[in-house]
Structure 1
Amino acid sequence: MVGTKSDLSRTTLPRRQLGRALRDARQASGHTLEQVAEVLEISRSTLSRLELGQNEKVKVRDVEFICQYYGLSEDRTEYLKTLVTQASTKVWWQDYRHLIRPGFNTYLQLEVAATELHFFQSLVIPGLLQTAEYARNVETYTATDTVDEVNRRVALRVQRSAILTRRHKPVRAEFLLHETVLRTVVGSNRTMASQLRHVADMGTRDNISIRIVPFTAGFPAGLAIPPYIAVDFPHSEPPVVYIEGAIGTMIFEEDDDIRRFRSIHDKLRCAALEEQPSRDLLRHIARRYEQ
C-alpha cells in the first residue's frame, strides 16, 4: 500500500512500472538493496525510492547500468529505458497541475493508462459521469478558489470523461452507485435532474455499466465501505485500488489487498439492481426532482 500524499505526488505510472520491474529483477537475481547499492555506489534510500517509483530524476544511463548488472536482456533493457523517457513526458493535464489536489496527479496517471475501471461511490457522482453544472457545484462546495479556478477544475473533469466516449478503444467502466448519491442534492433540483438523466444515458453505452445499490441492500459487504476505484491495466501491469478522502489518498497494490477489494466489489455487485432497473430508478428520481 502507498499511503502518504507526498509520496503519491511524486509517483507516476511509468515510474511505478519501472520501479516494479527493477525490484523484480533484483529479487530474481537474489540481491538485497544493500548489496546492489554498494556495488552501484548509490545510497540504499535512492535505490529504494527508484523501486517505489518515487525518484523524479531518473537517468537512462543509470537504468541501463542497473539492467546490465542484473543481466537483463537487451530487449528488456530497451523497454525499461523507454519508461524513463515516458516518466518525464508532459501529460495533457500538466496545465492544470496547480489546481490538482495532492495525490490526484497519480490517479490521473492510472486513469489514462487503464483498460478497465471499477467504481464504488456512496457520496457523490463520480467525476467521469458528472455534468459541468454538477461538477461546478461540487467544486464550489469543496474549494476556496476563484471563479476562474473553479471553471478550470470543471473543464478538467469534462476533459477526463472523454476516455469513456472516445471512438478508439474507450475505457470499460463499471459504476456501482449507492442510492444515497442519487438522493443527495448538489446544487439545485434542476441540476440533479439533469445529472441523473445524464448518468442514465451514459449507462446505455456498450463500454459502461451503471448499477444502483439500493437502500434496501443494507451492508452487502458486512460493514460500511468507503468509495474506491479499482484500476486494471494492459501488459500484465498489476491492478491497483485507489481511495481518496478529505485528508489523504491511498493506493493499494498488494495481492491480498486487491483480492479483498475484489471480494467486496463482488458482494456490492450482487446486491445492486440490474442495469435497466438502475436506469429506470435514475430517471424516476430525475422526474421527482423536476416536479
Structure 2
Amino acid sequence: MRASAGSDRLSADSASSTLPRRQLGRYLRDWRTQAGLTIAGASKLMEWGASTLQRLEKGQADRIRTIDIQELCRIYGIPDELADGLKGLAQQAAVKSWWHAYGDLIPENFDVYVGLEASAQQLSSYQSELVLGLLQTAEYAMALNRLGYPGDSEAELDRRVQLRLQRQALITRKVSPATVDVVLNESVLRRVVGGAKVMAAQLRHLADFSTRENVSLRILPFAAGVPLGVSTGPFTVLEFGTDSKGQPIEPPVVYAEGFTGDLYLERRTDVRRYDRAHECLRRSALDIQPSRHLLRQVAKEYVA
C-alpha cells in the first residue's frame, strides 16, 4: 500500500487535483517546450503574467477559457485534431470521479490515458481479458487493432501499433523506468488473439518481460475461482512518485477502460478499494516463477 497521509490530503483537499485539468496542463507544457518557448515567452504572447500560465500547466487554474486554450494551441502549432481534444479537457467539470465518454466534448480519437500513463512511476494492474497494452507484442496489438478499427488503412493501423509500442519505453528505459505490477487472469492466456503463432510469441514475450527487475507478473489461475466474490473488470492504479519532501507529486488515479468511455477515479476511498482488490488478486495468483513457467508452458501448447 502507498504512503497514504500525503496522498489523502492531496486527493481530498486540493481542488487542483482534477485529472482533466492536469492532463490539459501536461499537453500544453509539452507543446510549449517543443515550440521552444519559455514560460515567460509564452506568457508574453498571451499578455499574461507568468504565474497564470504556470497555474494552467500545473492543473491549478481556477477558471479556464476555451478561447485562451485555442490561442495557446495556435501559438504552439498544435494540430487542430489535438486542439479539439484540449479544448474538450478545458470544459470538463472539476470532479474527483470522471467518466470520459467517447465523443462527448473530447473527440473519440483523443487518448487521455496515454498522457497520464507516461507520467506514472508505478502501475498496478489487473487484466481479465487482454494483455496489458504496455506488454503487448506488435503482432498481438495489430490483431486487436484490425478488429477494433476495420475501416483503417494499413498505414493507419501501423501507426496505431507503433504508438502502442512506443509506450513501452516507460518500463524499458534505462533511467527511472516505471514499476509495473500486473495480475493476468488465466483467460488472457487462453483467449486466442491473432492465431496460435501470435499467441505463442506473446506469451514468450510476457515470460521474458517478467524477468525484469521493475516488472512483477502473476497469473490468476482458473483454480483460484473469484477471489473478490465479484468481477472488477480490468483496471490500473497509477502512481506518480513523490517530491523532495516525500509528498505525492500527484494523487493516485484508478483507470478502468470501458467500451463507450473510460472511468478515472481519484477519491481516496475509491483508490483504496482498488488497492485492496489488487492485493487480494495478487495473493490468490501464482507466484512470479510459477507464473513464468505457466506462460512458457502454454506458449508451447500453441505451437505443438
User: Under a length normalisation based on structure 2, what TM-score does the superposition of the two structures give?
Assistant: 0.67
What secondary structure is seen at the aligned counterpart in 1 of 2:236? Answer: strand
What secondary structure is seen at the aligned counterpart in 1 of 2:233? Answer: coil
Instruction: Provide closer, same or farther for how the CA distance between residues 103 and 22 of structure 1 changes in structure 2, counting only shifts above 3 A.
Output: farther
The answer (yes or no) to whether the contact 2:216–2:288 under 8 Å persists in 1 is yes
Cα distance in 2 for partners of 1:183, 1:95 equals 42
Amino acid at match of 2:165: V
Residue matched to 1:190: 197
The answer (yes or no) to whether the contact 2:23–2:116 under 8 Å persists in 1 is no
Residue matched to 1:132: 138
Counterpart of 2:21 (choices 43, 53, 65) is 53
Residue matched to 1:270: 283
Cα distance in 1 for partners of 2:113, 2:167 equals 12
Instruction: Provide closer, same or farther for how the CA distance between residues 281 and 56 of structure 1 changes in structure 2, counting only shifts above 3 A.
Output: closer
Cα distance in 1 for partners of 2:301, 2:24 equals 51
The answer (yes or no) to whether the contact 1:20–1:51 under 8 Å persists in 2 is no
Amino acid at match of 2:300: R
The answer (yes or no) to whether the contact 1:117–1:171 under 8 Å persists in 2 is yes
Q: CA RMSD in A?
A: 3.7
Residue matched to 1:105: 111
Cα distance in 2 for partners of 1:135, 1:159 equals 12
Q: What whole-Å deviation, never above 9, does each CA across 1:135-193 have from its counterpart, x for those lacking one? A: 10010111121111111100011111111111111110011000000000001101100
The structure with the greater share of residues assigned to helix is 1
Displacement of 1:110: 1.3
User: Under a length normalisation based on structure 1, what TM-score does the superposition of the two structures give?
Assistant: 0.70
Cα distance in 1 for partners of 2:166, 2:80 equals 13
The answer (yes or no) to whether the contact 2:140–2:198 under 8 Å persists in 1 is yes
Cα distance in 2 for partners of 1:54, 1:279 equals 37
Instruction: Provide closer, same or farther for how the CA distance between residues 198 and 52 of structure 1 changes in structure 2, counting only shifts above 3 A.
Output: closer
Is 2:161 the counterpart of 1:161? no
Residue matched to 1:208: 215
In structure 2, runs of 5+ residues without a counterpart are 1-10, 29-41, 61-68, 85-101, 243-247
Amino acid at match of 2:162: A
Instruction: Provide closer, same or farther for how the CA distance between residues 277 and 269 of structure 1 changes in structure 2, counting only shifts above 3 A.
Output: same
Residue matched to 1:234: 241
Residue matched to 2:228: 221
What secondary structure is seen at the aligned counterpart in 1 of 2:183? Answer: strand
Residue matched to 2:58: 83
Q: Percent identity?
A: 38
What secondary structure is seen at the aligned counterpart in 1 of 2:143? Answer: helix
In structure 1, runs of 5+ residues without a counterpart are 1-18, 26-49, 66-77
Q: What whole-Å deviation, never above 9, does each CA across 1:179-231 have from its counterpart, x for those lacking one? A: 00000000110110000000000000000000000001111111112101100
What secondary structure is seen at the aligned counterpart in 2 of 1:223? Answer: coil
Amino acid at match of 1:139: N
Displacement of 1:102: 3.1
What secondary structure is seen at the aligned counterpart in 1 of 2:241? Answer: coil
Displacement of 1:83: 2.8
Cα distance in 1 for partners of 2:241, 2:191 equals 36
Instruction: Provide closer, same or farther for how the CA distance between residues 247 and 268 of structure 1 changes in structure 2, counting only shifts above 3 A.
Output: same
The answer (yes or no) to whether the contact 2:200–2:298 under 8 Å persists in 1 is yes
Instruction: Provide closer, same or farther for how the CA distance between residues 241 and 193 of structure 1 changes in structure 2, counting only shifts above 3 A.
Output: same
Cα distance in 1 for partners of 2:125, 2:20 equals 25
Displacement of 1:23: 2.5
Cα distance in 1 for partners of 2:221, 2:19 equals 43
Q: What whole-Å deviation, never above 9, does each CA across 1:86-111 have from its counterpart, x for those lacking one? A: x97999xx89969x983862211211
Residue matched to 1:285: 298
Residue matched to 2:264: 251
Residue matched to 1:23: 15
